[in-house]
């Protein structure tokens, strides 16, 4: 099987550091079905959320990075969870956009984010979690384009969205770097930014 290195993609450790999943990081309870592999328990938990109506057809399921952080597991485990959901015909994956509830012909939910915002939101999550600390350079446009299987233009739009909200600053011909934490938008402000781009009305 071709590895990330063979494909010229960034190593998974660049996206979710083992240290970033240590004690104190919030995670969902996977105590049910302890005899099952972790990826099966994650898939079962997401399936339960679907049956409970917490996730509906067209909703975006957490990315591999997000699931790894949420359940305190490795990227490999979260990838297998995605595969299990697809095998059960509970989800499908759109290259460069994400994994969504329902089969491939499911109509996307209205809140589904454009690809550039999916990238920006994932990077913002990693920045706030401390995986990319202030002063550290974020992945380049080329690396983001490869990681999310999208265009350089879309990757550039993601960086621009982060820069607009003071997550990062850019030095010409060098790259974009994380700003000091006091400059970051609040979670509520960032949520409203995402809501606007999704086409939802802002909460008053």
| Tens-place pLDDT, residues 146-195 | 888 889 999 999 999 999 999 999 999 999 999 999 999 998 888 777 76
Copy the structure tokens of residue 148. 């999310």
Residues forming beta bridges with residue 60, ordered by sequence position: 100
For residues 159 and 4, the model is more confident at: 159
CB 118 within 8 A of CB 97: yes
Q: Mean per-residue pLDDT for 83-88?
A: 95
> What is the value of pTM for the model shown?
0.49
Q: Mean per-residue pLDDT for 1-29?
A: 41
pLDDT number for residue 72: 92
- Tell the burial category of 10 from Cβ atoms under 10 Å away from its Cβ (0-12, 13-18, 19+): middle
pLDDT tens digits along 122-151: 999 999 999 999 999 999 999 999 888 889
pLDDT number for residue 111: 56
């Amino acid at each position: 099987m071709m590895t990330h290195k063979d494909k010229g993609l960034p190593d998974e450790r660049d996206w979710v550091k083992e240290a970033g999943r240590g004690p104190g990081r919030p995670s969902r309870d996977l105590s049910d079905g302890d005899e099952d592999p972790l990826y099966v328990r994650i898939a079962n938990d997401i399936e339960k959320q679907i049956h409970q109506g917490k996730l509906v057809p067209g909703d975006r399921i957490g990315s591999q990075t997000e699931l790894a952080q949420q359940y305190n597991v490795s990227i490999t485990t979260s990838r297998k969870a995605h595969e299990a959901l697809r095998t059960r015909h509970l989800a499908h994956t759109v290259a460069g956009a994400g994994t969504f509830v329902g089969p491939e012909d499911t109509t996307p939910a209205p809140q589904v984010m454009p690809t550039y915002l999916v990238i920006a939101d994932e990077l913002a999550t990693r920045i706030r979690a401390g995986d990319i600390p202030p002063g550290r350079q974020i992945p380049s446009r080329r690396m983001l384009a490869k990681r999310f299987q999208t265009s350089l233009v879309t990757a550039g739009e993601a960086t621009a969205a982060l820069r607009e909200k003071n997550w990062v600053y850019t030095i010409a011909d060098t790259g974009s770097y994380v700003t000091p934490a006091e400059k970051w938008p609040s979670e509520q402000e960032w949520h409203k930014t995402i809501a606007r781009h999704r086409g939802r009305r802002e909460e008053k």
